[in-house]
Chain A
Amino acid sequence: MKVSGSTNWKGPVKFRMPTAENLVPIRLDIQFEGQRYKDAFTWNPSDADNEIAIFARRTVKDLKLPPAFFTQISQSIQSQLADFRAYEGQDMYTGEKIIPIKLDLRVNHTLIKDQFLWDLNNFESDPEEFARTLCKDLGVEDPEVGPAVAFAIREQLYEIAVQSVSSARESRLSKKSRRGSDYGSASKASGLSMDLVKLFSFKSSVVRKRKDLDVYEPMVDLLTNEEVDALEAREERHAR
């Protein structure tokens, strides 16, 4: 099958998360009166806005945070949702984008490092399912790792989707040509994506080169308490 650029051109799509479920990753990092609250979760943008207040109140109550956190949390969630909604009306071009997704996170005692390729065009993709399978295959026992992995994937997808919106705007402004392949190259210019054409042409094989094997292998590490403390101390120092 011959792969040519023009047949792969996809028209502009309304902005949304390129996953099966249109969930927004929300990250909270609030510091107030010496207390730091960090959290990350997914939110469904089609939920009513009063849910934000309910959620914030519940969180403050469950974690016994000082009540001032309530407004901070609500505001943060609100603004992140507003950002997402601002993008929603616009177009994005996804092109033939296969992007590498990197995982490098620590959840409680588990350290995960991984890299894999993700098809941005696949709007049926499910980061949650991937995270579940990953944890099951790697024998991760901490139940909090799964959601954290899913969140990381989602965050990166969100970033890239946002970039593709802005790149679409730029290409529309700069280029007047109607040739579809130009859009594909515009997205390639972002530097992250890989060209399918190059990858799957008859010259190269699908098998990965040996030097890339290490990069693409997942690594799970269990840390001791001291290592966890050391890492946390280092992070705090960086944060300041």
Chain B
Amino acid sequence: SFFSGELCRTLMATNAPIPGGSGEIPPITPSRPIIPEAPSEISASSNSLQPPPSSSDTYRIYIPSYSRWFSWNEINECEVRSLPELFDSRSSSKNPRVYLYLRNSIIKQYRDEHPNKISFTDVRRTLVGDVVSIRRVFDFLDSWGLINYSSSASAKPLKWDDKEAVASEPPSTVKESAKRICNGCKSVCSVACFASEKYELTLCARCYVRGNYRVGINSSEFKRVELSEESKTGWSEKETLLLLEAVMHYGDDWKKVASHVTGRTEKDCVSQFVKLPFGEQFAKDSDSEDALETFNQIKGSADPESEGRVKDGSSSPDNKRMKLTPLADASNPIMAQAAFLSALAGTKVAEAAARAAVTALSDIDHEAGKNAGGDPNGQEINGNNSERAVAEAKSLLEKEEKEVEGAIREIVEVEMMKIRDRIVHFEKLDLEMERSRKQLEEMKNLLFSDQLNIFFHTRRSRKAEDRAEC
């Protein structure tokens, strides 16, 4: 036999388990309908967002949008580029026909197994051909997401560079292994913590702010270490999508959002949401202050001390001056809270938040002033705003005009080059014509001289004849 029993059984397990009488080979027919494999009907999705996984997930095959070129009966340029040895006809066993056969068989096999993944060994057992070529085609399809592509894959597309993929993998594994426990309160640190190398201490932000460490140590000897929550838990694309959906539906009700995103606490949801690059757009509906408030509320709700004091925490312009030496204000609970929050978020974020809060406050003030009876200051500021908008529009217009000019210039250049090439071509032709004409002249001359010679010869011979006769 070719396969040991153990391997044999594992292979049978991966085949479509259709119950039949004993003695039947489990036929390799798809046990679930697959959408007909015309390229246009394969649901292509962008590589970051996917439709929510419903029960129909096993009935649909997704491929990433950058693999949209795939077609069953054709070979695309990128395939030729990636697998040159199969197309350079160096050996008779490596040609496009074989490539098509291998590629299509592998993809068919994957789709039969979907949503299970197939491994290279599964595939090469069923394909006729040398294993190295099979492996190359398999790796190519894998990196382009045409096989083994599932929405839970959190890795970035690997198609470009193997180095990139290799580089992106180790950091995530390294990060996950580092979990920090605070020396002061023995709790797991999240988001940010403070570490002192000199004394080998790690403190969570709370302990640091409270001064919960040994007497002899100065607060300035601590360095802030950012701990990305993502590394510990790794928000997958699916979860991100759920989160966005939930936020759109439920808005600010983070409890419902958290329940929609299975497996994440409210705090996680909010922090992840804020971290998303466009999180601010969603927050624009409400006041920026409101968003911060809710953020702080959630953050603060985990902390027993902060109930009811959150509002003031966000608007603290004095925090601009705040360095990492909050000990002086530890007595004031409000300031301690503010210090804690700003230490947690980092100086830059705290600054930005404070500035935004100040602008919001001043806007509100001005609006209130306007309503109270046309405060000239308010109008001025509004006028400034509209002036600024006009100036921006003008600059955009100028930019566009410049671009158009540049494009026209390029077009003109290209046309000129075309004309120049044509002129050169004509000149060449002209030269050829001259040459041919000269040749013709020469030949005419030769012909004439030949004719003359013959004429003289005949005359001479006739004269000789006449003389002979006489």
Contacts and interface: CB of A to CB of B under 8 A. Distances in A.
Interface of A: 20-23, 35-44, 46-47, 51, 54-55, 58-59, 61-63, 105-110, 128, 131-132, 141-144, 146-148, 150-151, 222-226, 228-229, 231-232, 235-236
A38 B138 CA distance: 22
B130 A43 contact: yes
Interface string B170-206: 0000000000000000000000000000000000000
Interface of B: 1-8, 11-12, 22-25, 27-28, 91-93, 109, 119-122, 124-133, 135
A223 B130 contact: no
B28 A142 contact: yes
Given A58-B120, A63-B7, A110-B25, A43 B132 contact: yes
Given A58-B120, A128-B128, A23 B1 contact: no
B130 A20 contact: no
Contacts of B132: 43-44, 47, 51, 55
Contacts, number: 116
A40 B2 contact: yes
A19 to B, nearest CB: 9
Contact of B122 (A22, A38, A51, A62): A62
Given A20-B92, A20-B93, A231 B128 contact: no
B135 A54 contact: yes
Most chain A CB within a 10 A radius of its CB, from B5, B25, B28, B130? B130
A23 B92 CA distance: 11
B6 to A, nearest CB: 8
A41 B131 contact: yes
B130 A47 contact: yes
A108 B11 contact: yes
A21 B128 contact: no
Contacts of A22: 91, 93
A147 B126 contact: yes
Contacts of B22: 224-226
Nearest to B118: A62
A58 B121 CA distance: 8
B133 to A, nearest CB: 7
Contacts of B122: 62
Contacts of B125: 41, 144, 147
A55 B120 CA distance: 9
B131 A42 contact: yes
Given A44-B93, A151-B2, 13 more contacts: A22-B91, A41-B131, A43-B132, A55-B131, A55-B132, A58-B135, A62-B122, A108-B11, A109-B25, A144-B11, A144-B126, A147-B127, A232-B5
Given A128-B128, A150-B128, A225-B22, A21 B3 contact: no
Nearest to B105: A143
A38 B23 contact: no
Given A20-B92, A58-B135, A147-B125, A108 B3 contact: yes
A80 B128 CA distance: 20
Closest CB pairs A-B (n = 5): A21-B93, A62-B119, A62-B121, A44-B130, A143-B126
Given A44-B132, A47-B130, A147-B127, A107 B121 contact: no
A113 B362 CA distance: 91
A44 B1 contact: no
B93 A107 contact: no
Contacts of B5: 229, 232, 236
Contacts of A47: 130, 132
A40 B131 CA distance: 10
A132 B128 contact: yes
Contacts of A105: 1-2
Q: Is the interface of A mostly helix, strand, loop or mixed?
A: mixed
Given A43-B131, A144-B11, A59 B121 contact: yes
A222 B128 contact: no
A236 B133 CA distance: 33
Nearest to B125: A144
Q: Which of A108, A222, A235, A236 has the most CB of B within 10 A?
A: A108
A44 B135 CA distance: 12
A17 to B, nearest CB: 11
16 contacts: A21-B91, A21-B92, A21-B93, A35-B6, A36-B4, A37-B4, A38-B3, A51-B132, A108-B3, A108-B25, A128-B129, A144-B11, A147-B128, A150-B128, A222-B23, A224-B23
A148 to B, nearest CB: 5
A144 B15 CA distance: 12
Nearest to A108: B8
Given A21-B91, A150-B128, A38 B121 contact: no
A225 B130 CA distance: 31
Contacts of B129: 42, 128
A232 B130 contact: no
Contacts of A151: 2
Nearest to B123: A62
B92 A148 contact: no
Given A47-B132, A105-B2, A128-B129, A41 B25 contact: no
Nearest to A23: B130
Nearest to A47: B132
Contacts of A37: 4, 7
B133 A44 contact: yes
B23 A146 contact: no
B72 to A, nearest CB: 18
B93 A23 contact: yes
Nearest to B5: A232
A141 B28 CA distance: 7
A101 to B, nearest CB: 17
B103 to A, nearest CB: 16
A39 B24 contact: no
Nearest to B119: A62
Nearest to A233: B5
Contact of B25 (A59, A63, A222): A222
Given A51-B132, A142-B28, A39 B23 contact: no
Contacts of B124: 41
Contacts of A235: 1
B447 to A, nearest CB: 60
Nearest to A227: B23
A196 to B, nearest CB: 27
B4 A38 contact: yes
A148 B2 contact: yes
B15 to A, nearest CB: 9
Contacts of B93: 20-23, 44
